[in-house]
Structure 1
C-alpha cells in the first residue's frame, strides 16, 4: 500500500503514519511546518519530508490513498490534485476504521476523561500481555507511539473525540468508528466555534450512540444528568451500563479503592469515575474486577492529567490539561479534597478558541471557587493569533464570578507573582492546554519558596 499524508506533522497524523510504516506500508507525507516531537519521530523512521511546503507533484495515480489532516486547508494544492485524479481521500478517523473494521472496536467518547480512560484500559491490557491495537490522545509511559495498527490484534481501543474529522469532512471523529463497545464519560459544552449552542453539542453524543453497532454496548456516566437522559431515551438496540463513583477512602493524601483497600496512583472523583468506566470495558475483555484492581494499582496517570511535577512534605506541584469549565472545576476540587489541610493555589491559562470567546467565558462562573488563590493567565499573543478582542481583568473576574481572582496577561509578571507566594503547606496546580508562554514548570517548581 502506498499512502500519502497531507499535514503529516499533526499529533494523530504522524503517529498513524509511523504505525502504518511499521505495518509495512509505503508512506510519504507533507506539511508546511512540523514541530517536536513529531519532527524527530518522523525523522527516526525516514518519514520526515525532505522539504516543507505543499507540492502537487507529490500526488500521482501510483498512490492507493491520501489521508488528509485537519491542519490542511480545502484549497491545499495536494488535496486538489488528489481530487482531480480521483484518488481515495480519507480523514484519519475514517482510515482508523478501515484498519479496525474486522476487530472489536472500543471507542471512548465524552467531553472529559477520554485520554485517562483509554490510558487506564491500555495499562491493564498491557499488564496482562493482551494483544491490542490503539489510538490514544497522549504519549503514554511504556508506549512508543500514540497509534498502533496490526493485522493480528483482535481488539482496538480508540479515543474518539467530538471535533471535526477533516477540512472536507465536517462529521465528528467519533461518529466514524462504529463502536462495538462505546463509553461516554460525560457531556460539558466545548468547541463553541463548531457547536455554537449546548443543544448542537449534546446532539453529537446522541448521534454517537446511534453509530454503535447493533447489539453493542454503551457504558456511560449516569452521574451526568443530561447524559443519563440521552442514554435512557435512546431506542437503538444496544446494552446500556451506567456507572458512578466507586467506594473509596482518602488517607494521608492517598486514595484507596474499597473494599480491598487498593492504593491508587490517581485521585479525584473524575478519575475514580474514569476508573469505573475502564473497569467495565476490561470486563468486556474477560478481565475480572479483581484482576483489574491489581493492574490499576500501578497506573500513575496520563501525561498532563494531574501530573506531579514535584512533591515533598509541604508542597505538591501539578500540571493538568484542564481548560474547559467542567474540567477546571473538577481538577481543582480533586486536589482540594485530596489535601484538605493544604492551601491550594490554582492557575489556569485560557488558550482555546472557546475559552477566549467573550460569550462563552461566563460558563466559567464559580469554576475556581474551591481554590484558596485563583489565578487566570492569558497570553496576549493568543488573542492576536485568533484575531479576538482581549479581556480585561474586570471581564475575567465578572465571568468567573470571583472578585478576588488575580489576572495576568504577561508571563514574566505571572511568574514573579507565583514566586512571591509562600508554599509551606500549599499545593500549586497549573492548568493549560497551552504552555504558559514557554514556562519551564520543573524549574518553577524548584524555585518556589517554602
Structure 2
C-alpha cells in the first residue's frame, strides 16, 4: 500500500509512519515544521520530507490512502487536493482501527494514568515475551517505537485518548476503536477548548463505554466516583471488573506491595501509580498473564517517560520531572512525592502550558492542587497565552485560583531558572511538572543542581 501522511512530524504520526514502513508499506509525508526527536527518527528511516511545506502535487490517484494529523488545518492544500481526487482519508485512530479490526482490541482510557497503565501492560507482556501490537503515548524502555503493527499478532493494546481525531473528524479518538477489552482509570475535566462543560466531557466516556463490543470486558477504577457512575450505569451487555488501590507500605523510601507471595518492592510509587498497577494487572490477566507472573514482571517497571521520571538523585536530594499539568494530575503527583519522602521538603514547580491550564475560567480547578508541597512555584508565559489566542491571565488570578498565600509566581524564564538554581535543595524532593520546558529550561543542566 502507498500511504501519504499530512503532518507526518507529530509524536503519534511519525511513529505510525515508521510502523507502517516496517510493515512493508510505501510511506511518504509532509509537514510545515518538524522538531526532534521526530526529525531525527524520520531521517534515519528515509521518511523525512526533503523540504518543509505543503505540496498538493504529492497527492495523486496512485496513493491508496491519506492519514491526516491534528496539526493540519481544514484548508490544508494537500487535504483539499485529496478531497478533490476522492482519495480515502483516514484520521490516525480510524487507520489504527482499520489495521486492527480482526484483532482483540484492548483500549486504555481515562483523563489520567492511561499512558502509565498502557506502559505497565506492555512492560509485563514484553517481560514474558508475549508479542502484541500496540500504540502508546510515550517512548518506553526496551521498545523502538510507540506504535507496532503486524499481520499475525492476536492482540493490540491502544492508549485511548479522548482528544479529537482530526481537523475534519471531531469525534474523540477513543470512540473509534470499538474495544473487546477496555479500562477506565479516572475522569477529571480536561481539554476545555473542546469540551466546554464537565457534563459534556463525562459524556465522552459514556459513549466510550457503550462502544465496547457486546460481551466485552470493562475494567474500571471504583475509587473514582465519575468512572464508577459511568460504568455501573452503562446498559450495554458487557462484563464489568472493578479495581482499587492495593495494600502497600513505604519503608526507607521504597514502596512495597503486599501480595499473597509476600511483600514486593517496586520501582514506582504514589497511590495513583498503585491504582494504575491494579488496573494493569486485571488487563494482563484477561490477556493470559497470571497474577504471579504479573508481579514478577512489574517489580522491574520504572515508569513511563516523563511520568514521575527521576532526573537525578543524591543521598539527600532527588529531582523528578513529570508530565502533570491538569489539576487532578498535579494534586496526585505532588501528594505522591510528599508521601514517599515524608522526611524531606517538597519543592513543586508547575508550568501552566496547555490551553486548559491557561484559561482564566478553568484556573479555579487548581484550588488545593499544590497543597502537599512545602514550597510551591507556578510558571507561565504570557507569550504562550498570546500564541494560543487566549484572554490574558494575571498573576493575581493565578494566586487566587490556587488559594495559597505563599505561592511563588514567575512569568520570565530566566527569573524562574535563577530562582531554581539559587535554592538550597539539601534534604529536598524537587518536582518539575510541565508538558513544556519552562520557556527553555535545559533538564540536563538541572542535573548539576546536586
TM-score normalised by the chain length of structure 2: 0.98
Residue of structure 1 in register with 2:93 after alignment: 93
Structure 2 residue 174 is the aligned partner of structure 1 residue 167: no
- The answer to whether the 8 Å contact 1:256/1:262 transfers is yes
Of 126-135 and 381-390, deviating more is: 381-390
Alignment of structure 1 residues 113-152 onto 2, 5 Å = 113-152=113-152
Structure 2 residue 73 is the aligned partner of structure 1 residue 41: no
Alignment of structure 1 residues 24-423 onto 2, 5 Å = 24-259=24-259, 260-423=262-425
The offset of 1:412, in angstroms, is 1.1
Question: How many angstroms apart in 1 are the aligned matches of 2:124 and 2:406?
Answer: 43
Question: How many angstroms apart in 2 are the aligned matches of 1:331 and 1:313?
Answer: 22
- The answer to whether the 8 Å contact 1:318/1:429 transfers is yes
The offset of 1:442, in angstroms, is 3.1
Question: How many angstroms apart in 2 are the aligned matches of 1:77 and 1:163?
Answer: 24
The offset of 1:393, in angstroms, is 2.3
The offset of 1:420, in angstroms, is 2.4
Aligned length: 448
- Can you list the C-alpha shifts for 1:324-378, whole angstroms capped at 9, x where unaligned? 0000000000000001110000000000000000000000001101100010000
The offset of 1:447, in angstroms, is 2.5
Question: How many angstroms apart in 1 are the aligned matches of 2:381 and 2:431?
Answer: 18
The offset of 1:423, in angstroms, is 1.2
- The answer to whether the 8 Å contact 2:132/2:153 transfers is yes
Question: How many angstroms apart in 2 are the aligned matches of 1:443 and 1:79?
Answer: 42
Question: How many angstroms apart in 2 are the aligned matches of 1:102 and 1:387?
Answer: 43
- The answer to whether the 8 Å contact 2:359/2:393 transfers is no
Of 180-189 and 420-429, deviating more is: 420-429
Question: How many angstroms apart in 2 are the aligned matches of 1:415 and 1:55?
Answer: 41
Question: How many angstroms apart in 2 are the aligned matches of 1:53 and 1:421?
Answer: 44
Structure 2 residue 429 is the aligned partner of structure 1 residue 427: yes
Gaps of 5+ in 2: none
- The answer to whether the 8 Å contact 1:92/1:165 transfers is yes
Q: Secondary structure of 2:206's match?
A: helix
Question: How many angstroms apart in 1 are the aligned matches of 2:434 and 2:120?
Answer: 22
Of 222-231 and 433-442, deviating more is: 433-442
Question: How many angstroms apart in 1 are the aligned matches of 2:349 and 2:386?
Answer: 22
Question: How many angstroms apart in 2 are the aligned matches of 1:298 and 1:438?
Answer: 32
Question: How many angstroms apart in 1 are the aligned matches of 2:102 and 2:437?
Answer: 40
The offset of 1:156, in angstroms, is 0.4
- Can you list the C-alpha shifts for 1:216-274, whole angstroms capped at 9, x where unaligned? 00011110011101111100100001111011110011001103211101000110000
Question: How many angstroms apart in 2 are the aligned matches of 1:172 and 1:16?
Answer: 18
The offset of 1:381, in angstroms, is 2.0
Q: Secondary structure of 2:300's match?
A: coil
Q: Secondary structure of 1:422's match?
A: coil
- Can you list the C-alpha shifts for 1:419-449, whole angstroms capped at 9, x where unaligned? 222211111000000111111123123225x
The offset of 1:387, in angstroms, is 2.0
Q: Secondary structure of 1:134's match?
A: strand
Question: How many angstroms apart in 2 are the aligned matches of 1:227 and 1:277?
Answer: 13
Question: How many angstroms apart in 2 are the aligned matches of 1:197 and 1:425?
Answer: 42
The offset of 1:388, in angstroms, is 2.3
- The answer to whether the 8 Å contact 1:310/1:442 transfers is no
Question: How many angstroms apart in 2 are the aligned matches of 1:83 and 1:101?
Answer: 25
Q: Secondary structure of 2:361's match?
A: helix
- The answer to whether the 8 Å contact 1:345/1:373 transfers is yes
- The answer to whether the 8 Å contact 1:368/1:400 transfers is yes
Structure 2 residue 422 is the aligned partner of structure 1 residue 439: no
- The answer to whether the 8 Å contact 2:137/2:159 transfers is yes
Question: How many angstroms apart in 2 are the aligned matches of 1:310 and 1:42?
Answer: 30
